[in-house]
Amino acid sequence: MLSALLVMAIIAIVLGAVLGYSAIKFRVEGNPLVEKIDAILPQTQCGQCGYPGCRPYAEAIASGEADINLCPPGGEEGIHKLADLLGMEFKTFGGNTVIKPKAVAFIDENICIGCTLCFQACPVDAIAGAAKQMHTIIAYECTGCELCVAPCPVDCISMVPIEEKITTWKRKYPEQTLVLAQ
Amino acid sequence: MRTLYQFHGGIHPTGNKTQSTQCPIARMPLPSRLVIPFRQHAGESAKPLVRAGDRVLKGQLIGMPDGFVSSAVHASTSGTIAAIDMQPIAHPSGMPDLCATLIPDGREEWVPHAAVDYLGSDPAELRQYLRLSGVVGLGGAVFPCDLKLRPLRGHPNRSICTLILNGAECEPYITCDDMLMRERAAEIVQGAEMLRFMLEAGEVLIGIEDNKPEAIAAMRQAVTDSGLPFEVIVVPTIYPSGSAKQLIRILTGLEVPSGKLPTDIGVQCFNIATSYSVYRALAHGEPLLSRIVTVTGNVRQAQNLEVLLGTPVQELIALGEALPDTNRYIMGGPMMGMELASTDVPLVKAGNCIIAASDKLFPPAPPALPCIRCTRCAQACPADLQPMDLYWFAQSRDFGKAQAFSLFDCIECGSCSYVCPSHIPLVQYFQFAKSEIRAREQEKKAADHARERHEFREYRFEREKQEKAEKLAAKERAVREAVAASAATSPQPEIQAAIDRAKEQAATVEPKNTDNPTPQQQSEIAGIEAQREHIRELAKSSVEHTKD
């Protein structure tokens, strides 16, 4: 009787020690789900979801606070991926969501007064310039988030849709008519 | 006798090669206009070096390689650059690309050029020379040749042990390599020796399909004449034995692992036409300006032509005299080539064959039927894949699964589509899936980059805020310290000295008139004091009076 109790106690202590050690050793910093969600989001940092950036939105999804259909730049495909990841049902966008083609911002340098408001707004530092100097968009860094458009006091920023070039051309889904056997 | 190996699958389409091997290679007359695209190779487009109106000489560099995977572009003949603009090119998208339009002057005036003493040169210099000569793989991939000659990264001691020259030319109708081997075997062999020298390769194997006996004989003769220890190996005719990985398998029995390159197993493979261009570049200093093109199919005169790069395809067709029932044109072979949306496109380095097609010659594929999972495609696949599964994933856009099933090992040879009893355009699905996956990878890369920049920006803001706070705290601390110090210490020494001096002076100065007054003076003082007192009394009473 006593030996049985002793054995059980020792086993409990050993297992407890293992668990305690592994809790320290294999500790996961932050919520790993947030990372996974963030990896799916398009990183435009546009804030169209109502959160200040992709990561805050990922955190909001992970905590169940936000819905998965709030990211227009991610497209329906993004929603599909999020639904798959989170084991949720696919949801279409809300009624007033507009999905725009991919674009980059363009500064009309004749109008720009060098106020620096746009590059304070740019979430990815894609605007070069200085106070009272002309600003310009670094096109290949621009995510097309449109956050610079509203702050411009002289409305010199426009969004230019990205045209398909020979280098970015994608093959289309094969056109094929399936003829079912009679 | 060398043991040959087999690769999995493969098909036996009708060769149709004899039509175009009846007459020797003809030189294409100088066209009235050349359109030279700046991207005729895999990788980045070359950067234009000339402007409209410039006069250029034959062989002059007009496009500088721009980027790691890139190659040079040259003026194919002497003349005047009429324009540098977007022109239609042979591309499945049908989109235009940047081209130089060259109006030949007919004088064929060369830039100064000379042979390179390759034996006395550093391989790195030779690679740079080939890059600036615009030599790219002419087997179809148009991959810059200099990059394939680099020493192996990460394998300092492992060099290439086998150099393979690919003269298999397995695709039906195409005979440009066959004719080149028949007529210019010696140059090809010399080029192979140059490649071997640069790679420091051990053995050199030249693989040729057994349906080209004249080419085999010519190459054997050239090897014997050169005295080089190369081996011409006859391989059985089976499509696609001309694909690099498949030919390596046939000749060496080695299999290039999935996702790896031939160099990873110590083998490198070049097309015989590439070898010929290397010879022209090093032995004559001539950049790649022309190539042999097979004009065949539904034409009166099927033949091989030596064509200047940039020659409009329609002029080639006109020379071959397409028959009236021709309704479309294919650039490349019937298995892997692409249908040209227009014949007003230039011939480029990749253009090995122009086929005039008619419905009689190439009956249109009947409508596709559902896949019955007969696995004939899997039996035919030379890459040992499961095309029926890949098709299933590609058509349902399940790209992750397609990739897991080694979609990128597909060489797009078209064997699966060829044998499919349901006539499903399988390769088109695989091309679509590959293109989508590549685009997604690009997008993912861009997203990761944007995330990094955004996070850095946030970190910078945080840092700036902290720095500002620290600066403010430091300033505050400094002021506080100064105040405390001034309160604690006595006034400055000079001031203190001045005060002391004044005190001393006051002590030493002896009052003259107030000390020891005479009795008379004392009474005077008392009188004055009394008067003062009286005045004070008066003043006080007058004040009280006014108050009332």
Query: Taking chain B, what is the end-to-end CA distance rounded to the nearest angstrom?
Result: 148
Tell whether A75 and A147 lie within a shared domain: no
Kindly report the CATH number assigned to the domain that includes residue B249.
Answer: 3.40.50.11540
User: If you average pLDDT over residues B362-387, what whole number do you get?
Assistant: 92
* A149, part of any domain: yes
Kindly report the CATH number assigned to the domain that includes residue A133.
Answer: 3.30.70.20
Whether chain B has a CB inside 8 Å of the CB on A126: the answer is: yes
Tell whether A40 and A111 lie within a shared domain: no
**Tokens at B320, concatenated:** 């071959």
* B124, part of any domain: yes
Q: What pLDDT is attached to residue B546?
A: 56
Tell whether B384 and B281 lie within a shared domain: no
Residue B336's domain comprises 18-29+110-357
* B499, part of any domain: no
Could you give the CA distance from residue B414 to residue B370 in angstroms, rounded to a whole number? 18
* A9, part of any domain: no
DSSP H or E segment with residue B97: strand B96-104
> A86, A111, A132: which is the final residue of a domain?
A86
Tell me what the pLDDT averaged over chain B comes to.
Answer: 90
* A78, part of any domain: yes
Q: What pLDDT is attached to residue A28?
A: 80
> B456, B485, B514: which is the final residue of a domain?
B485
Residue A120's domain comprises 100-182
Look at A174 and B432 and tell me if their CB atoms are within 8 Å: yes
Distance from CA of B283 to the nearest CA of A (A): 35
**pLDDT higher than 60, residue B205:** yes
Cα–Cα nearest to B38, from B111, B102, B126, B94? B102
pLDDT bin (cut points 50, 70, 90) of residue B514 is low
The string of pLDDT tens digits covering residues B241-262 is 999 999 999 999 999 999 888 8
Tell whether A74 and A111 lie within a shared domain: no
The string of pLDDT tens digits covering residues B402-439 is 999 999 999 999 999 999 999 999 999 999 999 999 99
* A36, part of any domain: yes
> B329, B357, B385: which is the final residue of a domain?
B357
Look at A45 and B95 and tell me if their CB atoms are within 8 Å: no
Complex confidence, ipTM:
0.81
* B125, part of any domain: yes
Q: What pLDDT is attached to residue A182?
A: 38
Residue spans of chain A under pLDDT 70: 95, 176-182
* B500, part of any domain: no
**pLDDT higher than 70, residue B544:** no
| Cβ count near B513 (within 10 Å) | 7
* B52, part of any domain: no
Look at A179 and B368 and tell me if their CB atoms are within 8 Å: yes
Number of domains observed in the structure of chain B: 2
Tell whether B299 and B429 lie within a shared domain: no
Q: What pLDDT is attached to residue B132?
A: 94
* A145, part of any domain: yes
* B493, part of any domain: no
Tell whether A176 and A115 lie within a shared domain: yes
**pLDDT higher than 90, residue B537:** no
The string of pLDDT tens digits covering residues B181-195 is 999 999 999 999 999
**pLDDT higher than 70, residue B332:** yes
Could you give the CA distance from residue B176 to residue B311 in angstroms, rounded to a whole number? 17
For residue A121, give the chain B residue with the closest CA: B457
**Tokens at B355, concatenated:** 């086929």
* Contact assessment for residue A82 and residue A90, using Cβ atoms and an 8 Å cutoff: no
* B77, part of any domain: no
The shortest CB-CB distance from B435 to any of A53, A54, A170 is to: A170
Tell whether B301 and B230 lie within a shared domain: yes
For residue A181, give the chain B residue with the closest CA: B369
* B462, part of any domain: yes
> A86, A119, A154: which is the final residue of a domain?
A86
Q: What is the pTM for the complete model shown?
A: 0.81
Tell whether B388 and B291 lie within a shared domain: no
Mutation target for A interface from B44, B66, B93: give the one with most A CBs within 10 A.
Answer: B93
Whether chain B has a CB inside 8 Å of the CB on A125: the answer is: yes
Q: What pLDDT is attached to residue B520?
A: 86
pLDDT bin (cut points 50, 70, 90) of residue B264 is confident
Q: Which residues of B touch A124 (CB under 8 A)?
A: 450, 453-454, 457
pLDDT bin (cut points 50, 70, 90) of residue B157 is low
> A86, A108, A125: which is the final residue of a domain?
A86
Tell whether B377 and B309 lie within a shared domain: no
* A21, part of any domain: no
Say what percent of chain B tops pLDDT 70: 95
> B431, B466, B485: which is the final residue of a domain?
B485
For residue A173, give the chain B residue with the closest CA: B432
Tell whether A136 and A180 lie within a shared domain: yes
Whether chain B has a CB inside 8 Å of the CB on A164: the answer is: yes
Number of domains observed in the structure of chain A: 2
* A52, part of any domain: yes
Tell whether A42 and A112 lie within a shared domain: no
Look at B453 and A42 and tell me if their CB atoms are within 8 Å: no
The string of pLDDT tens digits covering residues B105-116 is 999 999 999 999
Whether chain B has a CB inside 8 Å of the CB on A168: the answer is: yes
Distance from CA of B355 to the nearest CA of A (A): 23
The shortest CB-CB distance from A171 to any of B367, B432, B448 is to: B432
Query: Between these two residues, A128 and B487, which has the higher pLDDT value?
Result: A128
List B338's β-bridge partners, or say none: B331
Tell whether A72 and A41 lie within a shared domain: yes
Tell whether B344 and B418 lie within a shared domain: no
Could you give the CA distance from residue B503 to residue B15 in angstroms, rounded to a whole number? 126
Choose the weakest-confidence range: B15-19, B151-155, B265-269, B356-360.
B151-155
Q: How far is CA A84 from CA A31, A90, B67, B125, in A?
A: 18, 8, 39, 53
Could you give the CA distance from residue A81 to residue A103 in angstroms, rounded to a whole number? 23
For residue B43, give the chain A residue with the closest CA: A167
Look at B451 and A54 and tell me if their CB atoms are within 8 Å: yes
Tell whether A120 and A78 lie within a shared domain: no
DSSP classification of residue B90: S
Tell whether B293 and B407 lie within a shared domain: no
Kindly report the CATH number assigned to the domain that includes residue A51.
Answer: 1.10.15.40
* A134, part of any domain: yes
Whether chain B has a CB inside 8 Å of the CB on A182: the answer is: no
Tell whether A62 and A104 lie within a shared domain: no
The shortest CB-CB distance from B95 to any of A169, A174, A181 is to: A169
Give the sheet arrangement for strand B47-48, strand by strand: B47-48, B61-64, B73-74
pLDDT bin (cut points 50, 70, 90) of residue B202 is confident
Tell whether B442 and B350 lie within a shared domain: no
Tell whether B325 and B396 lie within a shared domain: no
